[in-house]
């Protein structure tokens, strides 16, 4: 990826992710592992946060919120392959989760899988039409050869 393109993609990624960062994965208040993981993440204790989120996924395999937290952390740590898998799992539990499609799209984008990224972003927009305007710059870059 060219330097200018890479910088723009990172900038756009950060901008899009911030529109839902606090709500990126709304955790039920009843899950102390997710709350604890959020606190660890905020304190910069990323390894501990990841362990909390992983444990939450293990204990509640049907929890989309736990997978969203884990995927968000993996994405922020630039572990794009792991984030891709985690977001796919979240989508398998809730295909109408626009934020999971966004996360998947950004994971693919960072792995330079533009075709898959574009498909995931299109699905995010289909599920949540309000994303269209915010994703427009990223989609335009993906459409440019």
Total number of domains in the chain: 1
Q: Is the pTM of this model over 0.85?
A: no
Per-residue pLDDT of the chain (145 residues), as tens digits, is 455 445 445 545 554 454 444 344 444 446 899 999 999 999 999 999 999 999 999 999 999 999 999 999 999 999 999 999 999 999 999 999 999 999 999 999 999 999 999 999 999 999 999 999 999 999 998 888 6
**In 3D, which of 91, 120, 125, 93 has the Cα closest to residue 107?**
120
Domain that holds residue 129: 64-143
Q: Tell me how crowded residue 41 is: count the other CB atoms within 10 A of its CB.
A: 19
User: Is residue 17 a part of any domain in this protein?
Assistant: no
Q: CA 47, CA 40: separation in Å to the nearest integer?
A: 8
Q: Label residues 63-102 b or e (16+ Cβ within 10 Å = b).
A: bbbbbbbbbbbbbeeebbebbbbbbbbbbeebeebbbbbb
CATH number where 90 lies: 1.25.40.10
């Amino acid at each position: 990826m060219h330097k200018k393109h890479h910088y723009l993609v990172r900038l756009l990624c950060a901008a899009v992710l911030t529109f839902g960062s606090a709500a990126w994965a709304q955790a039920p208040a009843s899950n102390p592992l997710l709350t604890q993981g959020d606190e660890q993440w905020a304190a910069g204790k990323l390894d501990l946060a990841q362990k909390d989120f992983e444990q939450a996924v293990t204990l509640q395999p049907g929890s989309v919120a736990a997978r969203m937290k884990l995927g968000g952390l993996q994405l922020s740590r630039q572990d794009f392959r792991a984030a891709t898998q985690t977001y796919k799992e979240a989508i398998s539990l809730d295909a109408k989760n626009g934020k999971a499609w966004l996360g998947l799209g950004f994971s693919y984008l960072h792995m330079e899988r533009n075709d898959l990224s574009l498909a995931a972003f299109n699905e995010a927009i289909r599920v949540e039409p309000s994303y269209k305007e915010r994703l427009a710059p990223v989609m335009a870059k993906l459409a440019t050869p």
